[in-house]
Structure 1
Amino acid sequence: MMRQPQQKALASMRRTFHLAHYRQPSAGSRPLLARRRFHLTAPTYLPRKRSFFTSNVFLQQNGTEPSVATPGVGRTPDFSADNGRAKTDKTSSSSATSYQPTSQPAATLRRKPPLKNSLRRVAVVAQKGVPSKTAATAAADVAVDAADGSATISAVCVADSFDMDAVVDALLVHGFLLDPDDSGFEVHEVVHARGANNGDIFVFPSGTVVTWSLPPDVVTALATRHLLPAAEDPHLDRKEVEDLEYVVDATRESSTMTGDVVVLGTKAEADDGDRLNTTLAKIAFSSGLARSTKLAVLESSLNSYFESTRQIPGLLSRGSRFTLSRRFILQKTGELLNLRAQLNHYNELTDSLPDIFWDSKSELRLETYYDRVGKALDVGVRIKTLNEKMNYAQEVVNVLRETSSEKHSTRLEWIIIVLIAVEVFFELRRVYMEKHDRDSDDAAKST
């Protein structure tokens, strides 16, 4: 028989076990027995491993390079029911890791970057190709451009034309050095000035100012304030600004364009200190950019013209009557003729080579630089498109003129009809009066 102290101790142990395993659950919690795990699987509220549903070695690597023979892959871990941890064999303990539940939610897990040998990356590289070092170097050179405009070519068109003698006087008053490299161009062709910060300024008779390596605020102040007294028919409300990036290559003898970036070859300047070739190249590129900016002004003016007449085709298509004065029609006809003349006659926009390059004695092919700027900015296509738009506008104007002529002819016809009716009335009145007089005379004779 068991002694009484031993029985009391055994009863106390049983009561402690009963309270520990069968106590009532608190609010919001589950009983301890209900939280016991009877399956050798991870809890459902924990995130699944990337390799849970697959045996693909590329999906099992979790962002690391796969090995040819990974020890422990495919082994079944041995789970013990007492602590629920995965244990591997002693031979694979150095390679196979045990599953450690994490408290981090699945939503916060970040996707790992694709592998270097992934099929998606191979397909993307095969489609796009490997970028060349030359293009990357050019992009890096262009990225050097800062907000101060140190590597920017800016063109501003503020007037229909410039009085070049007044331009020379304005630049001299503000202390600019004119024609510092003896380029040999006439004043009515182009005016070259250079400031204290070695920024170049080129003023063209077409009303355009082109600057190299000048801040944007200085360019705006120069074109809209300092040179404004020399402008003829200024249009500050329709001014156009265009920019190009340029890089300096001291290893090139000639200049070129890569895309829309001007590559300025300054080998002669770096070796001999002669800046003439560099200045001539700048003048050629500047002339091409000034041509594009002047064309942009005409494009803007034509868009404004279309905006003022956009309702006319709709009215004509509906057969509605519109009351447009003859003065309005003549005004629109004159505006269109002026735009067409500025595009094709008064400016050198349609010329393949400006007159300033015909007498140039430079060994450089300046017309090549001029043409490359035009091709980069699609000047030829834009001129063709602008002429086609003007042809359409001319058709609208012709319809308006025909309608106005018809209305004028109809008005004249009605005037003639009214005059004939008045004449007939007076003739009938005369006949009636004569007949009345004869009847009166006959009545007097009879009495």
Structure 2
Amino acid sequence: MATPATSNALNAASRLVRSHSRILSCRLSCPPRPPAALLNTRLKHSDTTSPPHDRKPIKRLSPRSQNTTTSLRRVALEAQRSRDSLIRRSGKHGFVDPDIHTNQVTAYCAAEQYDIPTATRVLKQEGYCLDPWNTALYPQVIHFQTPDYSTTDASGQDSSAAPGDVFVFPSGTLVCWNVPEHVQLNLLHRLLLPAAESPHLDRIEIEDLEYIQDSSHHTSEIIGDTIILGTKPSSTESSTEAATPLPSSDVDTVLAKIAFSSGLARSTKLAVLEDLLSSYFSSTRSIPTILSRGSPLRFSRSFILRKTGELLSIRAQLNLYSELTDSLPDIFWDSPSSLGLSAYYDEVGRALDVGVRIKVLNERMDYAGEIASVLRERLSEKHSTGLEWLIIFLISIEVGFELWRIWRERQERLDPASTEALLRHLLLRDMHQHDSVTCPR
């Protein structure tokens, strides 16, 4: 017979088993409810007496804590979405969206050098404000901005454009960012012409690239033939921008433009040397053919000296008198490493194959040096041959004079009326008379 305590324990156990069985049957018969719907159902004020068809539909609410945790992620996604709107794909296969409006940067090489003090004086006389962002890079480069100008599109409507940036380098190059073509030509052919040393306006080398300004990134890069110019200020810059008359972000953008411009100027300067070497090969193209035929090289001394001087000048301009072969120009030695200006300079070099072109140009000049050595050998051989013939001619003249003297002496001895024969006859007669006086019979 069970005691009251035992019966109470058995009753509690049976109730617990029935409760678990009801929960299990409910879970098996009803589909699972989403966690968000369950949360909204708990947040909704409950009305157990109203029928299910009278209840309003549940609205999914975003808790404040979720906004707080995903705000940084949302900012990153927005920045990435803005970035993706400019660039398609990624890595080596990335390219800029062709539907995006781009501006143009153009580099000109119109002289062997620019005299920076003369160029500064001329530009100041024209009313240009030099170094408006106080980069303190004079005299390595002259920076000034063109005023606002109006353009006319295809539909005939006038629109205003932002001022352009112009950079003048001592290497004889001019780089223009977002500057109209007529302004560029005016700078080349009129304003900067007095400062040009050995100008070559008949064979100006031009390099064109496109660029866009990306306000979602701090740094810049080159994708294909397009420069992505990062103009986003950092957090420290944005906090002090209101109190600073010249924001440092704009200065960094100008410095980035100078770095890219220096790379473009290097490429155009190299293109001038490539053109000079091509002209050299055109004027000496017939030499290997003449040598292969076994014909003599009939070139004048002035031609050989001129071609030797041209090759030495090209090689000196590439390796000695310019910064074309330097890994980093002097203009970037004092720049902060955080700006990455040397990286921008190297990116332009890689995009335009400057390193490969320098290597190929030196190899071609080695071949041109072989042609010049053949010409010098021909010149030396011709000179030595001339000297030999001159010596032979002088010796022949001397031999001829000697033979003429011997012949003259023989003729005089054989001629009875000659002075020598008369003198000999007189001497013989005197000797006979003297002998007859001293030795009488």
Give the counterpart letter for 1:176 in structure 2.
Y
Alignment match of 2:260 (pick from 273, 285, 293): 285
Aligned position for 1:158: 110
Give the counterpart letter for 1:191 in structure 2.
I
Deviation of 1:290 after TM superposition, in Å, equals: 0.4
Question: Which segments of 5 or more consecutive residues in structure 1 lack a partner in the other structure?
Answer: 1-131
Task: Verify: 1:384 aligned to 2:359, yes or no.
Answer: yes
Give the counterpart letter for 2:110 in structure 1.
V
Alignment partners' CA distance in 1, 2:391 and 2:214 = 79
Alignment match of 1:398 (pick from 370, 373, 377): 373
Alignment length (residue pairs): 311
Give the counterpart letter for 1:200 in structure 2.
D
Give the counterpart letter for 1:171 in structure 2.
L
Alignment match of 1:177 (pick from 129, 148, 173): 129
Task: Verify: 1:263 aligned to 2:224, yes or no.
Answer: no
Aligned with 2:383: secondary structure?
helix
Alignment match of 1:409 (pick from 384, 395, 404): 384
Alignment partners' CA distance in 2, 1:311 and 1:367 = 44
More helix by share: 2
Deviation of 1:343 after TM superposition, in Å, equals: 0.3
Alignment partners' CA distance in 2, 1:203 and 1:254 = 24
Alignment partners' CA distance in 2, 1:182 and 1:257 = 26
* Contact 2:213-2:230 within 8 A present in 1 as well: yes
Task: Verify: 1:192 aligned to 2:157, yes or no.
Answer: no
* Contact 1:268-1:277 within 8 A present in 2 as well: no
Deviation of 1:294 after TM superposition, in Å, equals: 0.5
Give the counterpart letter for 1:165 in structure 2.
P
* Contact 2:304-2:375 within 8 A present in 1 as well: yes
Q: Deviations over 1:335-389 (max 9, x none)?
A: 1101100000001000000001101246301100000100110001101111111
Q: How do 1:2-81 and structure 2 match up within 5 A? A: none
Give the counterpart letter for 2:132 in structure 1.
P
Deviation of 1:139 after TM superposition, in Å, equals: 5.3
Aligned position for 1:18: none
Alignment match of 2:313 (pick from 338, 342, 350): 338
* Contact 2:168-2:175 within 8 A present in 1 as well: yes
Aligned position for 1:92: none
Deviation of 1:439 after TM superposition, in Å, equals: 2.7
Question: Which segments of 5 or more consecutive residues in structure 2 lack a partner in the other structure?
Answer: 1-83, 149-162, 242-246, 430-441
* Contact 1:156-1:208 within 8 A present in 2 as well: yes
* Contact 1:154-1:243 within 8 A present in 2 as well: yes
Aligned position for 1:44: none
Aligned position for 1:358: 333
Q: How do 1:276-355 and structure 2 match up within 5 A? A: 276-355=251-330
Moved more, 311-320 or 270-279: 270-279
* Contact 1:142-1:247 within 8 A present in 2 as well: no
By relative contact order (CA 8 Å, sep 6+), the higher-ranking structure is: 2
Give the counterpart letter for 1:422 in structure 2.
I
Deviation of 1:142 after TM superposition, in Å, equals: 4.7
Deviation of 1:140 after TM superposition, in Å, equals: 5.8
Give the counterpart letter for 2:206 in structure 1.
V
Give the counterpart letter for 1:264 in structure 2.
L
Aligned position for 1:221: 186
Alignment match of 1:235 (pick from 175, 200, 206): 200
* Contact 1:152-1:243 within 8 A present in 2 as well: yes
Give the counterpart letter for 1:277 in structure 2.
D
Give the counterpart letter for 1:225 in structure 2.
R
Aligned position for 1:204: 169
Deviation of 1:440 after TM superposition, in Å, equals: 3.1
Q: Deviations over 1:389-415 (max 9, x none)?
A: 111111111101111211111111111
Aligned position for 2:438: none
Q: Judging changes above 3 Å, is the alpha-carbon distance between structure 1 residues 207 and 171 closer, same or farther for their aligned structure 2 residues?
A: same
Which one has a bigger Cα radius of gyration? 2
Q: TM-score, normalised by structure 2?
A: 0.67
CA RMSD, Structure 1 to Structure 2 (Å): 2.3
Aligned with 1:268: secondary structure?
coil
Q: Judging changes above 3 Å, is the alpha-carbon distance between structure 1 residues 294 and 264 closer, same or farther for their aligned structure 2 residues?
A: same
Alignment partners' CA distance in 1, 2:400 and 2:108 = 70
Q: Judging changes above 3 Å, is the alpha-carbon distance between structure 1 residues 392 and 414 closer, same or farther for their aligned structure 2 residues?
A: same
Aligned with 1:178: secondary structure?
coil
Aligned with 1:433: secondary structure?
helix
Moved more, 263-272 or 355-364: 263-272
Give the counterpart letter for 2:310 in structure 1.
E
* Contact 1:157-1:209 within 8 A present in 2 as well: yes
Task: Verify: 1:429 aligned to 2:404, yes or no.
Answer: yes
Alignment partners' CA distance in 1, 2:388 and 2:131 = 67
Deviation of 1:260 after TM superposition, in Å, equals: 2.3
* Contact 1:194-1:200 within 8 A present in 2 as well: yes
Give the counterpart letter for 1:135 in structure 2.
R
Moved more, 341-350 or 210-219: 210-219
Aligned position for 1:244: 209
Aligned position for 1:33: none
* Contact 1:141-1:247 within 8 A present in 2 as well: no
